[in-house]
Amino acid sequence: EVRKNIGTAIVAAFAFVIALVWRDAIIGIVNSIIQALKLTGSGLFVQLLTALLTTLICVVGILYFSSWSEK
The tens digit of pLDDT for each residue in 42-58 reads 677 777 887 888 888 88
Total domains in the chain come to 1
The percentage of residues in the chain with a pLDDT greater than 70, rounded to a whole number, is: 94
Contact 30, 24 (CB under 8 A): no
Residue 14 lies in a domain: no
Global pTM value: 0.51
Whether 63 shows a pLDDT value over 70: the answer reads: yes
Does some domain include residue 10? Answer: no
For residue 22, what pLDDT is reported? 85
pLDDT at site 39: 74
User: Is residue 3 situated within a structural domain?
Assistant: no
| Structural Rg of the chain based on CA atoms | 17
pLDDT at 21 over 80: yes
**Residue 59 structural domain:** 25-71
